[in-house]
Amino acid sequence: MTQSKVQGLRPATQLVHGGTMRSGFGELSEALFLTQGYVYESMEVAEARFKGQTPGFIYSRYSNPTVAMFEERMALLEGAEAARATASGMAAVTASVMGQVRAGDHVVAARALFGSCLYIIEDLLPRFGVETTLVDGGDLEQWRAAMRPTTKVCFLESPTNPGLEVYDIRAIADIAHAGGATLVVDNVFATPMLQRPLELGADIVVYSATKHVDGHGRCLGGVILTSQALIDQHFHNYLRQTGPALSPFNAWVLLKSLESLPVRVAHQVRSAGAIADFLATQPGVERVIYPGRDDHPQADLIKRQMKGGSTLVSFDLAGGKAGAFRFANALSIVTISNNLGDAKSIITHPATTTHQRLTPEARAAMGITEGMVRLSVGLEDPQDLIDDIAQALQAVRAPGLAAE
Ligand SMILES: Cc1ncc(COP(=O)(O)O)c(C=O)c1O
């Protein structure tokens, strides 16, 4: 199927056929090109290719047919002009910011970020003379007040990890653009199925493909999606020369996973919604945060900005850390791990794992309590998950907890 034909199709179809490049063997399933380099019929052909006068592959740090298929499929899904794949989500985040700034520039970011993203903003950028300001992402006045003539990039993650707060992407994009900056959105928690930041005014979208895109806990990967102009201006050379290239093998795994992304995310969102509703009725559960529920603080914004809730539910258990540990240890189907978007349901205690690097005050500012757990809902039957959660809650309520 030609790319122009695929462009007019709906996402589920694009994710099965988009980007496919068949070799001369006419394989049905996309080929895995495990090659670093490419051969040229003559020196003249090599010269023309290196000068960019003729299209073609040169070296797999720059591009590779399997990686290119993954990039093309992701670009179709996101409605982006261009995509560049990276070895991990963090490689994509780092490039999305570092590619755009130089000493003397300024970056504004929402405070509620994944720990490694916070490291880039708070620790790494200042080492190279880039000043940064962290704001409460839900407070538009703080975004406006933080802008300076030197601000080049605004960065946010929505929904946030693990508080599942949702920020107004359109309004923040307007603030960024009024100040001459770009808006980068880390859309990992939403997935491309539930939120399309480029349509809301964002300039650049980044993903950890390690999460829902792979969805089976097998490999790391990342991707930057934006306009061709921004790729040419900020990212093309940065990525070619610094080399955070995605391995062709991982690209192949991710490419095949994209075929089932809509089905997986739809199932996970349905299950997560049912689990959130169940949790909200349970004694011992002090707070449920789920972007698909009417009691979510940004429920109206979510209806405007997102196509569905989330595959994740965060909730506070009575008894603080001891209550959370006892609950998680009592689960038998849900696994203790720190990944998300996986086929397997996963429970995480952010205060002692993903966010343990933060001070208690910083955690409190992000709404992370000692009793909070983050549940990434997988592909299991939702009733089995609810039964597992119910029996674990029973264990939390058992006498003896009060003494711990
Ligand atoms: C919101 C968010 N952004 C970026 C990353 C980094 O992704 P990776 O682990 O693929 O480098 C993660 C990983 O957990 C994440 O949750």
pLDDT digits (tens, 9 = 90+) for 333-387: 999 999 999 999 999 999 999 999 889 998 998 899 999 999 999 999 999 999 9
Q: For ligand 1, what atom is nearest to the CA of residue 211?
A: 10
Is the pLDDT at 403 greater than 70, yes or no?
A: no
Q: How far apart are CA 203 and CA 354, in angstroms?
A: 28
Topology, domain 3-258 = Aspartate Aminotransferase; domain 2 (3.40.640)
What are 254-302's pLDDT values in tens digits?
999 999 999 999 999 999 999 999 999 999 999 999 999 999 999 999 9
Query: Three-state DSSP class for 311?
Result: coil
In this structure, how many other beta carbons lie within 10 angstroms of the beta carbon of residue 353? 14
* Residue owning the nearest CA to atom 8 of ligand 1: 89
Q: What is the DSSP string of 246-297?
A: PPHHHHHHHHHHHTTHHHHHHHHHHHHHHHHHHHHT-TTEEEEE-TTSTTST
Provide the pLDDT for residue 365. 87
User: Structure pTM?
Assistant: 0.95
Q: Which one-letter amino acid corresponds to residue 15?
A: L
Q: Give the least confident one: 27-31, 127-131, 399-403.
A: 399-403
CA of 20 to the centre of ligand 1 (A): 27
Tokens 């605004």 appear where? 154
- DSSP β-ladder status, 204-208 and 182-186: parallel
State the chain's mean pLDDT as an integer: 95
Q: How far apart are CA 188 and CA 312, in angstroms?
A: 11
Is the pLDDT at 194 greater than 90, yes or no?
A: yes
pLDDT, mean of residues 141-162: 97
CA of 155 to the centre of ligand 1 (A): 14
Looking at the chain, the whole-number percentage of residues with pLDDT higher than 70 is 98
Range(s) of the chain covered by CATH 3.90.1150.10: 261-403
Range(s) of the chain covered by CATH 3.40.640.10: 3-258
CB-based pocket (< 6 A), ligand 1: 88-90, 93, 114, 116-117, 157, 161, 186, 188, 208, 210, 220, 222
CA of 88 to the centre of ligand 1 (A): 8
Provide the pLDDT for residue 8. 86
* CA separation, residue 216 to residues 101, 258, 290, 345 (Å): 35, 11, 23, 11
What are 230-262's pLDDT values in tens digits?
999 999 999 999 999 999 999 999 999 999 999
CA of 114 to the centre of ligand 1 (A): 7
The domain at 261-403 falls in which architecture?
A: Alpha-Beta Complex (3.90)
Looking at the chain, the whole-number percentage of residues with pLDDT higher than 90 is 92
Is the pLDDT at 324 greater than 70, yes or no?
A: yes
Q: For ligand 1, what atom is nearest to the CA of residue 113?
A: 1
CA atoms within a 13 Å half-sphere pointing along the CA-CB vector of 28: 0
Q: Outline where DSSP puts E strands in 36-174.
A: 82-86, 106-110, 131-135, 151-157
Is the pLDDT at 202 greater than 80, yes or no?
A: yes
